[in-house]
Amino acid sequence: MEPVVTVRDLRMRYGAADVLTGVEFDVSAGEVVCLLGPNGAGKTTTIEILEGFRIRSAGDVSVLGQDPAHADEDWRARTGVVLQSWRDHPRWTPRRLLTQLGGYFAPYSTPERQRPHDIDLLLETVGLTQLADRKIATLSGGQRRRLDVAVGIVGRPELLFLDEPTAGFDPQARREFHDLVRGLARAEGTTILLTTHDLDEAEKLADRVLVLAAGRIVADDTVDGLSRRLEGEAQVRWTASGERHHESVPDATAFVRQLLDELGADVHDLEVRRASLEDAYLALVQQHEAGHGEAAARLFAEVTR
Ligand SMILES: Nc1ncnc2c1ncn2[C@@H]1O[C@H](COP(=O)(O)OP(=O)(O)OP(=O)(O)O)[C@@H](O)[C@H]1O
């Protein structure tokens, strides 16, 4: 089957800054894929290029069989977009807004895919039935985000882009939102590409995770797959002569035996921990923020290979 999204050697430069330096990945029909990476890694830039809202510097991109930079109105009707922030319509009600926006999709209805969504059903899907006739200004942050999603899917898109959809959510709202997204993928077969900088969210939501760092994809697998690749290594930490040390080693038992043989009673606070994906990702984020993105990206790619 043809991938829904194909990205090859995608590059983006803002002025003198190279933000994307050769991004490559595919997304297949029906997949929920998460683009994960530290703040400023280029997730929004990538997704906006795929949405056709930003013109790339170089590389090949195909989304639903077209180049988003030159795609037509039919193509736009087949995609749904939930941006990081959405213009407000405070005096409108959710029902009125969705009915109005849904009307634009009616000409793009096909026998296989009736457009737009039935508005009552859509309100129910996103959990806004009780609030359908309240002014948008009176909705909470989480409720507004649900409305954003409803706006993104009112045209029953084949492919949905979500940019940091749960930023600012409390844990309960976050869980409900995850259920909503998974339900959409299941019930409608919608292909979903979302961005997040939260590994936990990627784990809950995604069939597959693409880790973006230092301008390229440094890992592409399920969260379980990435975790399994890390299982070989263990972190050994200890204090000797008043100094704290740590080492990543494949055979912790042999390492500790040798350490005790060599240093004996001088070793204190000995600790052995299995490296986890969370540790590796946290290290990537910290190093990225400290300005060592390139080295951290290389290390992350190595340990998850
Ligand atoms: N229009 C622009 N002009 C110049 N630089 C930009 C522009 N848009 C983004 N950048 C820079 O490109 C880099 C990537 O930004 P982008 O918003 O794509 O990252 P992100 O991974 O989505 O970050 P976040 O998680 O914080 O949303 C950042 O350093 C940002 O400052």
CATH number, domain of 148, equals 3.40.50.300
Q: Is the CB of 20 under 6 A from ligand 1?
A: no
Nearest to 84 by CA among 228, 234, 210, 194: 194
Q: Is the CB of 293 under 6 A from ligand 1?
A: no
Q: Which atom of ligand 1 is nearest to the CA of 15?
A: 4
Same domain, yes or no: 24 and 58: yes
Domain with 260 in it: 230-303
Among the ranges 206-220, 243-257, 291-305, which has the highest mean pLDDT value?
206-220
Count of structural domains, the chain: 2
Q: In which order are the strands placed within the sheet that holds 159-163?
A: 79-82, 159-163, 191-196, 32-36, 208-213, 216-221
Residue with the smallest CA separation from ligand 1 atom 29 is: 40
For residues 261-281, give the mean pLDDT: 83
pLDDT of residue 275 exceeding 80: no
Confidence of residue 1 (pLDDT cuts 50, 70, 90): low
pLDDT score for 87: 67
For residues 8-19, give the mean pLDDT: 95
pLDDT of residue 102 exceeding 80: yes
Q: Is the CB of 125 under 6 A from ligand 1?
A: no
186 φ, ψ (degrees, to nearest 5): -70, -50
Q: How far is the CA of 90 from the centre of ligand 1 (A)?
A: 28
Same domain, yes or no: 57 and 132: yes
Measured distance CA(90)–CA(201) in Å, rounded? 29
Neighbours of 25 (CB within 10 A): 20
List the single range of 121-130, 211-220, 266-275 with lowest mean pLDDT.
Answer: 266-275
Residue with the smallest CA separation from ligand 1 atom 31 is: 40
Same domain, yes or no: 197 and 235: no
Same domain, yes or no: 95 and 132: yes
Same domain, yes or no: 94 and 205: yes
Same domain, yes or no: 293 and 198: no
Q: Is the CB of 289 under 6 A from ligand 1?
A: no
Q: Is the CB of 43 under 6 A from ligand 1?
A: yes
Q: How far is the CA of 28 from the centre of ligand 1 (A)?
A: 26
Neighbours of 140 (CB within 10 A): 11
Same domain, yes or no: 190 and 266: no
Same domain, yes or no: 178 and 288: no
For residue 107, cis peptide bond before it (omega within 30 degrees of 0): no
pLDDT score for 155: 92
**Cβ atoms of 286 and 294 closer than 8 Å:** no
Q: Is the CB of 42 under 6 A from ligand 1?
A: yes
Residues 6+ apart with CB under 8 A from 248: 233, 234, 235, 236, 275
Q: Is the CB of 45 under 6 A from ligand 1?
A: yes
Measured distance CA(26)–CA(42) in Å, rounded? 17
Domain closes at, from 225, 259, 283: 225
DSSP 66: B
Same domain, yes or no: 132 and 279: no
Domain closes at, from 225, 246, 271: 225
Same domain, yes or no: 59 and 113: yes
Strand partners, 274: 234
List the single range of 19-33, 45-59, 205-219, 244-258 with lowest mean pLDDT.
Answer: 244-258
State the ipTM, two decimals. 0.96
First to last CA, the chain: 26
Same domain, yes or no: 162 and 251: no
Domain closes at, from 196, 225, 254: 225
Measured distance CA(218)–CA(39) in Å, rounded? 15
Same domain, yes or no: 236 and 215: no
**Cβ atoms of 176 and 165 closer than 8 Å:** no
